[in-house]
Structure 1
Amino acid sequence: MAPPTAEELRERLRERLQAEHVEVQDNPQLCPGSFRVFVVSGKFRGLKTLQRHRLVNEALGEELGRIHALEQKTLTPEQWEEQQRPSLA
């Protein structure tokens, strides 16, 4: 079975996690079915990194079985906003 497309993953994550922002990068040079995802969701509030990654894995459900490698970065909207601010230093 062929790996999912970056667009399929983006839509699943946006829909299932009510994500404010989703970026999916396909890394075929690493291996087919290798992806890097960046997800900003209010559902991550109060969760540790491992719990956030589990939520992403659950959101991808059936697609996860067709993914060879998945690198994740997960932030709450507040964390993302903080990272977007220019440094005053």
Structure 2
Amino acid sequence: MRMSLLKALDATHVQVDDISGGCGSMYKIEVVSAAFEGKSRVAQHRLVNDVIKEEIGGMHGLTVKTWTPAQFKPTSSL
């Protein structure tokens, strides 16, 4: 998923974490991309979902966070 998002969205930061305890059913995805400029949060999430649509089918849950490069403030929690 990470490489697909990096390439498709020309992202500067992508973090994909399995938050299901290792069974691969719940993921947290964070993406920073200039492709999000001028788009609503919903439109940004749709872009992410379109890239990983095949993988989403096997998931029970997904958390997506998106930022433009100007909005992104790295923290130690990433």
TM > 0.5 between the two? yes
One-letter amino acid of the structure 2 residue matched with residue 46 of structure 1:
G
Tell me how large the CA RMSD over aligned residues is: 1.6
| TM-score scaled by length of structure 1 | 0.75
One-letter amino acid of the structure 1 residue matched with residue 9 of structure 2:
L
| TM-score scaled by length of structure 2 | 0.84
Structure 1 or 2: more helix by fraction: 1
Flag structure 1 segments of 5+ consecutive residues without an equivalent: 1-8, 85-89
Distance 1:31 1:53 in 2: 24
Q: Which moved more, 1:57-66 or 1:30-39?
A: 30-39
* Secondary structure in 1 matching 2:59: coil
Q: Which has the larger radius of gyration?
A: 1
> CA shift at 1:30, angstroms?
8.7
Aligned residues with identical type, % of pairs: 39
Flag structure 2 segments of 5+ consecutive residues without an equivalent: none
| 1:29 alignment counterpart | 21
* Secondary structure in 2 matching 1:13: helix
